[in-house]
Amino acid sequence: MSDKTAACSFCGQEQTAHIPLIAGMNGHICEACVRLAHQVISTWSRKRSMSEPLKTPPKPLQIKAILDGYVIGQDTAKETLAVAVYNHFKRLNLETDKPRICTRTDKSVVELDKSNILLLGPSGTGKTLLASTLARIVGVPFVIADATTLTQAGYVGEDVESIIARLLDSADGNKELAEWGIVYIDEIDKLARSGENSHGTRDVGGEGVQQALLKLVEGTTVKVPAKGRKDQAPVMLDTRNILFIVGGAFSGLEKLLEKRLKPGAKGIGFHSTHTPDDPKADKLRLFSEVQPEDLRHFGLIPEFIGRFPVITALHELDEDALVRILTEPQNALTKQYQQLFALDNAELEFTNDALRAIAQKAIAHGTGARGLRGVLETLLRKLMFTLPSEENVARCVVTEDVVNNEADIVLEYHELEATPSGGTQNLASLQSTA
């Protein structure tokens, strides 16, 4: 029997009472080298999974150009998201080439950390639309979740780990691919904790969820139950490299901002007499002045705010922006309704004044771009009810008077006249009203 002490065949670590070694046919390996080998093999698998997205990662200008095709305005938010996604791909490239290994001795290698993003702005400004459009662009798994459905573990509802399970499903079960995904959590402002007079009751759908999201956003290992056979081991998924984007309307935050930004105003609250020089411009700029302290006063806990270093504001949409939303995007609302009417062999036309009147109504409703569809549905409902039963309708014209309920939609009919051969042909259009 040899008295020679066994040593790791990779790093030379000698076996002791506290450092056991795994023995093989011709050598030994220590625990540290086993972990190192696992990390290296994981990067090989991830590199194979990410070979397609990494071939041609989209550049920020390309990402913004695609977003411009679906979302009007909000250039600052688009640029922020474009840079975040591009940096996400760069981090992905670096880690596949030079994986983050705990035993690395090369001090020249700089490890890149992620910068999570918080989007805030009034309802109907395009936060969710930006996220859903971004999901079409990126080459990594993308999941959109709703914060209002989340509760603390052990209570009725979904816990935060369910988001990671959905991300794994989006990656078709590929663990390595899911660990490089992007998660967007909407309605994050609904998690604002209750006031200080909550008498110690548990806020399981508010502050409790914020606490549960802390480690998930920062980076932790989540156990995702395996689907299929019950005897399958759960999947352990690392969230350290998942990019998190959260968004919310933060209704009521304006009052906190006005209070902080107008210290010279006489009086407090309703007694304030300060009037800005340009109220419209002042309101558009208000959300761009948000500081972490404002979010803390709103009800987000400091630890949660600190995990989202990039805060981007979306401003309210004015009349010109809403008119552009009606006409310019690839899936603009007017184009959608024109397509619906075309299926009934009729043209739908909006005058410029009518588009502005529709935008003004949406602004009056206070729901942003979401209010446009409601205005159009109310405006066209009666015509869409009778049009399929009409014959020879050539064109439907919506004017400003129609939007203001001062006139009916003008219908133009094809005039049919007999031809010498006994058939009919279209000669002109006759006007009528719906």
Is the pLDDT at 392 greater than 50, yes or no? Answer: yes
Give the pLDDT confidence score for residue 278 in this predicted structure.
47
Q: Which helix (H) or strand (E) holds 245?
A: strand 243-248
Dihedral pair phi/psi, residue 144, rounded to 5°: -110, 120
Please state the residue numbers annotated as binding site for Zn(2+).
8, 11, 30, 33
**Cα distance between residue 107 and residue 85, in whole Å:** 27
**Cα distance between residue 308 and residue 246, in whole Å:** 9
Q: Are 411 and 393 in contact (CB under 8 A)?
A: yes
pLDDT in tens, 63-122: 999 899 888 888 999 999 999 988 888 887 777 666 555 445 556 667 778 889 999 888
Q: Is 173 exposed, middle or buried (0-12, 13-18, 19+ CB in 10 A)?
A: middle
Mean pLDDT of the region 249-278: 65
Mean pLDDT of the region 28-39: 83
Domains in the chain, please, with CATH?
A: 1-48 (no CATH), 50-100+112-194+202-264+276-313 (3.40.50.300), 319-433 (1.10.8.60)
Dihedral pair phi/psi, residue 429, rounded to 5°: -115, 140
Mean pLDDT of the region 43-55: 55
**pLDDT band per the 50, 70, 90 thresholds, residue 226:** confident
Cα 80-83-86 angle, rounded to 5 deg: 150
Sequence-distant (≥ 6) Cβ neighbours of residue 213 within 8 angstroms: 160, 185, 304
Mean pLDDT of the region 210-223: 88
Specify the pairing of strand 221-224 against strand 235-238: antiparallel
**Cα distance between residue 310 and residue 403, in whole Å:** 41
- Of residues 396, 411, 409, the one with CA closest to residue 349: 396
Does 268 or 406 have the greater pLDDT score? Answer: 406
- Residue 19 falls in which region: left (phi positive, over 0), alpha (psi -120 to 50) or beta: beta
- Read off the amino acid at residue 28: H
**pLDDT band per the 50, 70, 90 thresholds, residue 229:** low
Give the pLDDT confidence score for residue 137 in this predicted structure.
81
Q: Are 248 and 235 in contact (CB under 8 A)?
A: no
Length in residues, the chain: 434
**First vs last Cα of the chain: how many Å apart?**
103
Please state the residue numbers annotated as binding site for ATP.
122-129
**Cα distance between residue 220 and residue 99, in whole Å:** 17
**Cα distance between residue 242 and residue 45, in whole Å:** 17
**Cα distance between residue 274 and residue 256, in whole Å:** 15
- Of residues 47, 46, 5, the one with CA closest to residue 28: 5
- Read off the amino acid at residue 300: L
- Read off the amino acid at residue 171: A
Q: Are 107 and 116 in contact (CB under 8 A)?
A: no
Please state the residue numbers annotated as binding site.
8, 11, 30, 33, 122-129
Report the C-alpha dihedral over residues 151, 153, 155, 160, rounded to 10 degrees: 30
